[in-house]
Amino acid sequence: MAEPAASSESYSGMAGLAVSLRGVTKVYDNGVNALGPLDLDVRKGELVSLLGPSGCGKSTALRLIAGLNAPTSGSVRVSRGVGQSRAGRSIGFVFQEPTLMPWASVRENVRLPLKLSHAPAAEANARVGDALIQAGLAEFAEAYPRELSGGMKMRVSLARALVTDPDILLMDEPFAALDEITRFRLNNDLLSLWRNLRKTVIFVTHSVFESVYLSQRVVVMTPRPGRLSAEIRIDAPERGEEFRTSAEYAAYCREVSHALAPLQSGQPGS
Amino acid sequence: MTSLQTPPLSAEQAAPDSRALRLVRILLPIVVLAAGIALWELVVRLNNIPPYVLPAPVAVFRTLIADWPVLSQSLATTLVTTFEGFVAAAIGGVALALLFNQSKWLEYSLFPYAVILQVTPVIAIAPLLLIYLPQQTAVVVCAWIVGFFPVLSNTTLGLNSVDRNLAGLFQLYGASRMQTLRYLKLPSALPFMLGGLRIAGGLSLIGAVVAEIAAGSAGAGSGLAYRIAESGYRLNIPRMFAALLLLSAAGIVIYGLLALTSHLVLRRWHESALGKEN
């Protein structure tokens, strides 16, 4: 076995940082060198996109931050909210698939995180109700996942991630499987949510347009093993349909695409 | 060339067609059954076959009614045995699967023996069991032996088929072992478990019948299989057929009840219980 260099810690005093990765690598059991070494800092309240070709370790990085996997080496530090005993509860995770329990209603799916943390029933009911209204799901509360469209399922998934009021929201290509119209709408929903709740959001995507539209900062990653290749700051205060059709947006997209281009051509035909 | 000229089915035609098709699917087996019985009756009558060689269907039904007091008691005996075996198989199978799922050591140690128990023909085990156990117990154990394996293997499969991302989510929210089992693994395994139980129902009946036959005249048993064996010795062939008919009907009812249970439990969410239109 490798030396126990890996550490996954939670520090409360990280000077405005929500997440801090230092020299993080991940080698899977099958020998695949998926990530790193990667250094990444995410400020509190920041919306950052991790962008890169498929298999560049973006999802791996997200799973390491969530604590679902342990890094092979390096340190993963996640700031902990005040009064929260476990890092898990201050993190919300949205997978590429809606990942709902098919046997449970929308309401029960959203309630799950609270049920697992033994939240008092009255408080849980109130929170679930709020989360459902916020996600526009109030009238579908008793529906089963199979009765919903792909976009609606994703809303349920998002509502579930937010029901614990986490400080950090991790999203792993959440809208990749949706049609463009639904994706645009959910992008706008996410932006207004982020503006209102000021959560730290780390958003993994392979869409240049999505990353530019959503984030304050786009982090471009190299193919496997994933490292930081470029960082592009998107300084546009107003996001919306105006921004999506502006020359500024087009220019940012071009810049990000250029950062991505050499990586694409240099990719080995594995 | 002619096949090319057949017009394709349009959507308008398809809807009433599917209803007609369903009716046909129900009616056709009934027509075949009626035709078969009629043919059987005809062959027996035309050839004057004596009832101890091949009884006519009418003779079988007449025996069924005439011997109902004896046969119904035997049916009850066999059904009770089957039910006991089935319940034991269901509890044993699910409990073992849960134990195996919680402890890999236990699974590695015991699973091969579950397989051995399953692959050894129960008809060969039954006489031994009858030596060591009281007859009624031996019969139930036989029903259990053949019934528990599909429950065990299906439930194990179900417990291992948990959505990986959902499992990750439970891990993220710090779910305890019990919570993961109760809220994630058991519901995930439920469709598989119900599939196993559906197989186990029919197998329990087979196990009970095999053990009754093995017990044969040696025991004081009075199940349907015992009646069949006894009637065979007495050349009471119509009663053999009548008992066989009851066994077969019992099997159909058991399967139907379990299929219905499965449908009712899963209808809100599982693909297997949904109509094709949804």
pLDDT in the model for residue B226: 87
* Banded pLDDT at A87 (limits 50, 70, 90): very low
Of A95, A97, A116, the CB nearest to B179: A116
Rounded CA separation B34/B19 (Å): 23
A35 phi-psi bin (left φ>0, alpha ψ -120 to 50, beta other): beta
Joined tokens for residue B76: 């009850």
Q: What does the alpha-carbon distance between residue A207 and residue A177 come to, in Å, rounded to a whole number?
A: 12
Q: What is the pLDDT of residues A119-161, one digit of tens each?
A: 888 888 999 998 898 888 889 989 999 889 888 999 999 999 9
Distances (CA, A) of B239 to A104, B55, B248: 51, 9, 14
Torsion angles phi and psi, residue A225, rounded to 5: -75, 135
Largest Cα–Cα distance of chain A, in whole Å? Answer: 56
Contact A144 B166 (CB under 8 A): no
Distance CA B97, CA B193 (A): 10
- B172 → closest Cβ in A93, A102, A144: A93
ipTM: 0.83
Distance of residue B162 Cα from the nearest chain A Cα, in angstroms:
10
Domain boundaries, chain A: 14-79+167-265, 99-166
Domain B56-273 is found in CATH 1.10.1740.10 = no
The residues pairing with A233 across neighbouring beta strands, listed in sequence order, are A217
Tell me the HSE value of B39 on the side-chain side, using a 13 A CA sphere.
6
Question: Which of B129, B116, B135, B192 is CA-nearest to residue B160?
Answer: B192
| Ramachandran angles phi, psi of B161, nearest 5° | -100, 25
Residue in the block written with tokens 């005093």: A13
Contact B174 A112 (CB under 8 A): no
Q: Using one digit for the tens of pLDDT, what is the confidence trace for B194-205?
A: 999 999 999 999
Interface of A with B in 49-68 (CB under 8 A): 63, 66-68
Which of B99, B90, B88 is closest to B159 using CA atoms?
B99
> In whole angstroms, what is the distance from residue A121 CA to residue B245 CA?
55
DSSP readout, B171-235?
A: HHTT--HHHIIIIIIHHHHHHHHHHHHHHHHHHHHHHHHHHHHHHGGGS---SHHHHHHHHHHTT
Mean residue pLDDT of chain A comes to 82
Burial B199-209, CB ≥16 within 10 A → b, else e: bbbbbbbbbbb
The strand pair at A168-172 and A7-9 is best described as: unpaired
- Cβ-defined contact of B166 to A146 (cutoff 8 Å): no
Please tell me if residue A118 touches chain B, with a CB cutoff of 8 Å: no
Q: Does position B81 have pLDDT exceeding 70, yes or no?
A: yes
Shortest distance, CA B192 to any CA of chain A (angstroms):
14
- pTM, full prediction: 0.79
Cis? peptide before A225, omega within 30° of 0: yes
Interface test with B, best of A62, A103, A115, A127 (most B CBs within 10 A): A103
Q: What is the pLDDT of residue B13?
A: 47
Selected for mutation to probe chain A from B165, B176, B262, B265 (highest A CB count within 10 Å) is B165
- Substitution target in B173, B180, B262, B271 with the highest count of A β-carbons within 10 Å is B173
Judging contacts by C-beta atoms under 8 Å, the chain B residues touching residue A89 are 173-174
B268 contact A CB<8A: yes
CATH architecture of A14-79+167-265: 3-Layer(aba) Sandwich (3.40)
Chain A to chain B Cβ contacts (< 8 Å)? 59
Ordered alpha helix ranges (H), A117-265: 121-134, 150-162, 180-197, 208-214, 241-244, 247-265
What does the pLDDT average to over A28-47?
85
Band (B30; pLDDT cuts 50, 70, 90): very high
Nearest to A159 by CA among A200, A119, A107: A107
Contact A187, A231 (CB under 8 A): no
